[in-house]
Structure 1
Amino acid sequence: MITLFALVLLGGIGALLFSWSGLYNVAASKGHWAITRWFLHFSLENSVETHALPIAPPPLDDTAMVYRGLGHYEGGCKPCHGAPGEAGNPITKQMLPQPPHLPDHVASWTDSELFWIVKHGLKYSGMPAWIAQERDDEVWSVVAFMRRMPDMPADDYRRLARNDMMFDPEQVEETADLIASAGPVGDDLLACGRCHGLRGEGGGAGAFPSLAGQKADYLYEALQAYAQGTRPSGIMQPIAAELDSATMRRLADHYASLTPPAPPTLAPSDRAALKLGETIATQGLPDQGVPACATCHAGPDAPVPDNALYPELRGQHMAYLMQQLQLWKDGKRGGNPLSDIMAAAARHLTAEQIDAVSRYYGSLPPAGGATP
């Protein structure tokens, strides 16, 4: 035992001296020894597999999830990991380890493993953890998109990731005029427009909210909340954090000045849900402790509340409203002085009731917009 202890001690001293000497080359241009590279990959794969074992994936076939994940991937992942038909930024080729070209490597991991990697990141690789750890829904959206990515044609990826209108050759002139007419905020619209549209129409099967005609003060405060992290979002916070206060105000005023699009016409089969949604919106559910939405949010016959921080819900995408109500219900939405009120109201709503009231507000003509 004494001999073993002495050998361990001498080994430790030798390792410390070698480290102190600086002889080990830490340059990324040098690369690893083959045995080191094998050991690191072996450790990584087994660590991810072990930690992902208890994770149960949700259904990943929701189109809105795929669009939301694609919207983030274009700006947050593609520079390092590439995309269909596109290599990553050349700088990443000199990183150690080199980020994999994900369209070719996604199939190597299970859904649970992809989720764990995106949420927690990887040490010693430059892969960061998700900035909003409580937003598993955003992480799963990225996984849902990555699962579709290997079979996605390059042209489809470019069209979806950069917005049809912005890169449609037949509408280039119209797009350029629109950006030029926006004045100082024109350049920033290119980033916002990928998800929210240059005219603030939103979309992506309800993945992204319509911003056109929304209250300017609400949009400004939302950007502030995203930037400060009080409204958690691993998708929006990195974007908002790069904007100064004046730019946020210009963007908010620009989108508030636009005319929102008309909502879709719903099928007759939706009438029962619309009736329930109207009841929740106009009368509330007193037995469940849910106040009427119209107390704060304008409806067809309700006056517009004076508080500028109450968002306009009329004509908003139904899928987006459902997602936000679920976040309120789960206690994962904030960033507003009135957050406690919404969290308390949403906590008592069932999935059917969330669907109904979202469907109701989504069917209404938006303030200042066209009637379907």
Structure 2
Amino acid sequence: MKKVLYTALGLTLLGGIGAFLFAWSGLYSVAASKPHWAITEWFLHFGLRKSVETHAIPVEAPPLDEQAMIYRGLGHYEGACAPCHGAPGEAGNPVAKHMLPIPPHLPDKAAEWTDSQLFWIVKHGLKYTGMPAWIAQERDDEVWSVVAFVRRMPDMQPEEYRRVARNDTIHDPEMAEQNAALIAAAGPTGADLVACARCHGLRGEGGGAGAFPRLAGQKPEYLYETLKAYALGTRPSGIMQPIAAELGDAELRRLADHYAAMTPDTKAPEPGDAPDPETLKLGETIASQGLPGEGVPACASCHTTGQGNAGRGDAGQADAGQANAPENALYPDLRGQYAAFLIQQLDLWKAGKRHGTAYSEIMAAAARPLTPEQIRAVSRYYASLPPAGPRSP
């Protein structure tokens, strides 16, 4: 047994020395223009698939059919993923075809992976492939949005994809002159505005089944500080940080001023069925009075509710305690905001995954006691109010 053991150790040592000398010689080409040996390619793909399958075992997928989730994932996919992985009716950037390994064309290959495996790949990336890990590791909700879209993509027609990904409002022939004037008025940030408009619209109308918030008429200082928090990564988002981090302070300020000066579209319908009166009543109570017995303060303590900065009581009158509350430039105006977006943000506050401002602890403490039904109620209530704006920079 000793002889067999020593022989095995010796062969292993010789093999290791041989592999080192081969690598040291530089004879093996690492050029992306030269394909792997067949055995090397098989081994790498075999190891990759088995690793993903094993690590994805404990991942439990949530429902992925929510329209806002799909659109949110589509918005990110168009800018960050499509150049390499293609899209419905699109092959992707030719440069990606000269990578090694070549990124798979996901409209054709997504079905080869389960939801949990796709999540693990998007969140953690893949070594030696150029596939990066998700920037904001705590934002599983964003990762699942990408998975939801990738799962939906094989059934999506090219026309539908282009309509949502490019945002028809940007290329509407009837609005061509007005859109061109808006972009020109943005000056040096015109190209940045077009990139923002893919999700938020040139006029900040947002949309995507409530996936993207309305920015029109929002407080300019709030928009600026939010963009800055995204750029610094103090407000985590794998979708927003790569975009905001490329902009300088002057560009952030100009974009914030642009959207603040836009007039909100009060005709845009809130996605989904109209909320029932009881839901709105509960939402109004939380907004104007809070739930003192559950430790939930009134939203109107900080956020505008109804007319002015006052909360509305049962008769629609302003609460005396809120009538003269000063407006804080760093508190967002929630009136007319999409309910799907508000629900998402409150869920993040409740889970402790939304931070980055001086008021994070306040919001986290306020959202933590709320039930899912209460979150939906107060979100639907704010969505039912006329939006504010426009605001002067």
TM-score bracket for this pair, using the shorter chain length: over 0.9
Alignment of 1:319-338 (within 5 A): 319-338=340-359
Within 5 Å, give how 1:23-42 maps onto structure 2. 23-42=27-46
Report what 1:183 is aligned to: 187
Q: Relative to 1, partners in 2 of residues 1:258 and 1:25: Cα closer, same or farther, differing over 3 Å?
A: same
Pick from 74, 77, 83 the counterpart of residue 73 of structure 1: 77
CA contact (8 A) 1:159 1:167 kept: no
Against the structure 1 CA distance between its residues 298 and 53, is the aligned structure 2 distance closer, same or farther, given a 3 Å change threshold? same
Instruction: Answer yes or no: is 1:310 the counterpart of 2:336.
Output: no
Between the aligned partners of 2:273 and 2:40, the Cα distance in structure 1 is 61
- Inter-partner Cα distance in structure 2 for 1:368 and 1:114: 41
Determine the structure 1 residue equivalent to 2:363: 342
**For 1:47-68, what per-residue CA distance to the aligned partner results, in whole angstroms no more than 9, with x for missing partners?**
1111111111111110000100
Residues in 2 aligned to 1:144 and 1:282: alpha-carbon distance in whole angstroms: 36
Structure 1 residue 300 corresponds to structure 2 residue 321? no
What are the Cα deviations for residues 247-274 of structure 1, in whole angstroms up to 9, with x where unaligned? 0000001111111121647977521111
Q: Secondary structure at the match of 1:147?
A: helix
Letter in 2 for 1:368: G
**TM-score, normalised by the number of residues in structure 2:** 0.91
Superposition deviation, residue 130 in structure 1:
0.6
Deviation at 1:192, TM superposition (A): 0.4
Aligned AA (2:215) = L
- Does the aligned pair in 2 maintain the 1:264–1:363 contact within 8 Å? no
The equivalent of 1:19 in structure 2 is: 23
Q: Note if contact 2:215-2:259 (Cα within 8 Å) is conserved in structure 1.
A: yes
Note the 1:111-126 alignment, pairs <5 A: 111-126=115-130
What CA RMSD, in Å, does the superposition of the two structures yield over aligned residues?
1.5
TM-score w.r.t. the length of structure 1 is 0.96
Kindly indicate whether residue 291 of structure 2 is the aligned counterpart of residue 277 of structure 1: no
Alpha-carbon distance in 2 for matches of 1:346, 1:155: 40
Alignment of 1:90-109 (within 5 A): 90-109=94-113
Aligned to 2:261: 257
Query: For 1:322 and 1:124, how far apart are their aligned partners in 2?
Result: 38
Rounded Cα–Cα distance in structure 1 between residues aligned with 2:66 and 2:300:
30
Q: Deviations over 1:324-361 (max 9, x none)?
A: 00000000001211000000000010001000100111
Q: 1:143-202: CA deviations, max 9, x gaps?
A: 111111111111111111010121334443332233223334322111000000000011
Structure 1 residues 36-55: aligned runs within 5 Å: 36-55=40-59
Identity %: 72
- 1:63 matched to which residue of 2? 67
Partner amino acid for 2:282? L
Q: Which runs of 5+ in 1 are unaligned?
A: none
Contact 2:218 2:332 in 1 (8 A): yes
Q: Distance in 2 between matches of 1:176 and 1:294?
A: 39
Query: Is the counterpart of residue 367 in structure 1 residue 388 in structure 2?
Result: yes
Q: Which residue of 1 aligns with 2:208?
A: 204
Deviation string for 1:63-100 (max 9, x for gaps)? 00010000000001001001111111111111100101
Matches of 1:367 and 1:6, distance apart in 2? 78
Q: Secondary structure at the match of 1:226?
A: helix
Pick which of 163-172 and 109-118 moved more: 163-172
1:214–1:22: structure 2 CA closer, same or farther, 3 Å change rule? same
Is this contact kept in 2: 1:284–1:292, CA < 8 A? yes
1:71–1:195 Cα contact (<8 Å) kept: yes
CA distance in 1, matches of 2:274, 2:48: 53
Query: Could you tell me which amino acid in structure 1 is paired with residue 371 of structure 2?
Result: T
Shift of residue 6, structure 1, vs aligned partner: 1.3
The structure 1 residue matched to 2:161, chosen from 157, 163, 168, is 157
